[in-house]
Structure formats: structure tokens, C-alpha cells
Amino acid sequence: MRSSRTDQPLAVVIGAGPAGLMAAEVLAGAGWKVDVHDRMPSVARKFLMAGRGGLNLTHSEPLEVFLARYADAPAQVLAAIRAFPPASVIAWSEGLGEATFVGSSGRVFPKSMKTSPLLRAWLRKLDTPGVRFHLRSRWLGWDESGGLVFDHPAGDRLIEHPDVTILALGGASWPRLGSDGAWVPLLAGEGVAVTPLAPANCGFAIRWSDVFRAKYAGEPLKRIAVTFDGETTLGEAIVTDEGLEGGVLYAIGAKIRARLAAGPVTLALDLRPAIAEEDLVKSLARARKGDTVSNTLRKAGLSPAAIGLLREAHGRNLPDNPFALAAAIKSAPLTITAVQPIERAISSAGGVAASAIDDAFMLKARRGVFVAGEMLDWDAPTGGYLLQASFATGHAAAFGALRWLAGEVSQDALDDTADA
């Protein structure tokens, strides 16, 4: 129920990751008091880890192409990205003093390539009298009066009665950094529909031979292509003890996960996608008399790990005929048996169902409670898409809260949405 208070409104944001901090920024900018709670001892831990190899904020491709990366995403998420698109993320970063650039892949990075300078600038912007951070503060749900209950660091329980609440608790990947999915039973107990959380942008299990695993685990496979279910993606992967992971799989991960429900699936790897098969035949045919197959493959541009994988796929005794060998390189079958655990995934799929929120990102079961970020049921590959949707939904949920408290969203409209 909306507050009748005439003084400065209070918002509680639960979760100090990108979505929660973006919501806090919008609400503080509107003159609200904002209390930000997070169960970790410092903010944005997963955000910092995600940028360890270079902070990929978003992507520069045309918006309609960009939106197509969010397969089966709810309309609310797509509308949020349209309202706060990649251009807005770039402008926001540069407004914090962190200039950006577009990499050769089209991905957008801060020029520093690091998360920490941007996060420090962001927290400086939030360092106002109206914004308070409560760290090591775990949310436990609601009490009988509707107050938010927190397990406070001092050992006592803190009760908050805000005008609005923004939930931005993340999914269930990387739980040691804060996203542990503990909110699922709290919302399910309130009658909120939650799609089961599942690993996304994750590794997949392959039954390697002991020899291959011992020799190549940790080795990269660069500039390869994967074809599955009629779709081909280009990128890189890493051989792990348990199987394979990397961006080339993340882009088609949702399809793979869906098909795994019925049993193992087989991918086709092209280990030299940059060269046509007929040209590869010519390259292989130039092998000198006495060259081993391994030497011939190295001269054709295959790394030791790629050669080892080729033997895993086709058997130890590879053909020496250049036509057969080229065909083997261009289509190496690998059978995936399972998805790696969610704790090791970059992100998670599933979450609060689209049917459980209105167009303002407010829970239909709890008026005045809004949801943002990876808690929502959407999925996207790496490449800037994860952060973009987190920023955009945090922005949208905050504006939804502003509109609701101002009475711009009528009760009839909310009821119509709930009945839809």
C-alpha cells in the first residue's frame, strides 16, 4: 500500500550489486532516503569479480540485434533495455568520469578496463546524507506487520518499514560472492511464481580420457566454431577437468541445457573455421613425406590441445588422407552429458516469473515491492548483455517505484495487469 507520508520517502534496496546500486542511484537522485542492505561485508563483489579480466559493460551492436540475444526474455526486461539501452550505459559510465571504448569484438569497456575505478566513482556519487549502507545484513523476509526483517551484524534483528522495497538479490551463481538464491523460498512463501534457478553461461561435462584430461585441462581452444541444433557460434573455449566451458558455448547454452533434459547431446566443433575445407585440404596435402599426422596438423594451424581434442573426437588413429583429415577437423563431434553445477556458473537462469510482476517491475503479490537484476527470469550470454540487463532493470524498477508512490500507476491498471 502506498504511503500517505508527506516527508522524504524511504526506499530499502536489498542487494548492492549493479541492479541494486542503479536503483539506489535513481531513487537518491529523486530526493528519496535510501537504505541499501547486503549480506556481504562489502558491496558489488560479483561485479568486481566479473570485471577481473576486463569490465565488459555492454555491446555496441544495433539495438534490435542486441535485444535478440535475450532469448525468450519477458517483455518487461526488453522494455527496460529499450528505455535504458547501451548508449545510456555508456553515457552513465562517462558521467562517472570513466570514458569507454569499443573493442574489436564490438564489446564496450571502460578505458581503464577495470571495475574498481568505476565502482569507486559510483560509490562517491552515492555518498550522500540520504543514502545509508547496511553491510553484513541478511534479509529474512517480512514480519506480521509487513516490516522487512534483517539479521543484523550485532546479532539483533533490524526491522524496516519503507515506502517501497527494491529486491536485487541476484541469482544463485557464485554464492561465495553474495548470490546464493536464499530469497527463493521467501518469495515462494508469499505466493510469488519463481522459475527454478539453473546454471547459465556455464561449463558442460564431457567424459574425457584420462590421458587427454591430464595433458590438456586448463588449455585454451582459440578461434573455434561450435554447431548445435542448426546454430553455429564462433569464439573460444577452455578445456577443464570435467569438460568444456567458454564463450563459444555460452551463446548457445540455453539450447544445450534444454536438450540435455532428454539425455546427452552432441556438438560439432570446427577447429579451423577461418579456412574453407577445400583450402584446408590443400594445406594438408603439402605435408612432407615422413611428417607425422601431428606435425601436419600443427603446420595447418592446430594447437596441441586442438590436436588432442581431434583425437578424442575421432580416435587416436587419425586419417592421413588430406580430404578425410580436413573433414575431421571441420566437424569434430563431442558428446555433452551434463551441465556443470550452478555454483560454478557465471550467471543463472530462472527466477521471478514475468507473470509475477507488472510492467513497473512490482510484485503482484506484494504492492510496493519491486524486483530487478538477475532475480528475474531472463537469460543472456556473456558479452555485455548480463550487466546491461542488470543496469536497465534496476533503472526500470526504481522508476516504477517513483511512479507508483506518486500515484501515476492507477490501482485499476495494476488490477488489470494482475488479471492478465
**What is the C-alpha separation between 382 and 391, in angstroms, rounded?**
15
Angle between helices 385-405 and 86-95 (to 10 degrees): 80
CATH 3.50.50.60 positions along the chain are: 10-199+347-419
Say how far apart CA 303 and CA 185 lie, in whole Å. Answer: 48
Dihedral angle, C-alpha 120, 126, 132, 133, nearest 10 °: -30
Encode pLDDT of 74-99 as tens digits.
999 999 999 999 999 999 999 999 99
* Residues near 276 by beta carbon (within 8 Å), at least 6 away in sequence: none
- Residue ranges, comma separated, of all CATH 2.40.30.10 domains in the chain are 204-339
Structure confidence at residue 320 as a pLDDT band (50, 70, 90): confident
Whose cell is 564431457? That residue is 206
Q: Which fold has domain 204-339?
A: Elongation Factor Tu (Ef-tu); domain 3 (2.40.30)
pLDDT in tens, 22-53: 999 999 999 999 999 999 999 999 999 988 88
| pLDDT reported for residue 409 | 55
Looking at CATH, the fold of the domain delimited by 10-199+347-419 is given as: FAD/NAD(P)-binding domain (3.50.50)
- Please indicate, yes or no, whether the overall pTM of this predicted structure exceeds 0.75: yes
Q: Alpha-carbon distance 350 to 303, whole Å?
A: 37
pLDDT tens readout for residues 392-413: 999 999 999 999 999 875 444 4
Dihedral over Cα of 356, 393, 43, 146: its sign: negative
Measure CA 149 to chain center: 28
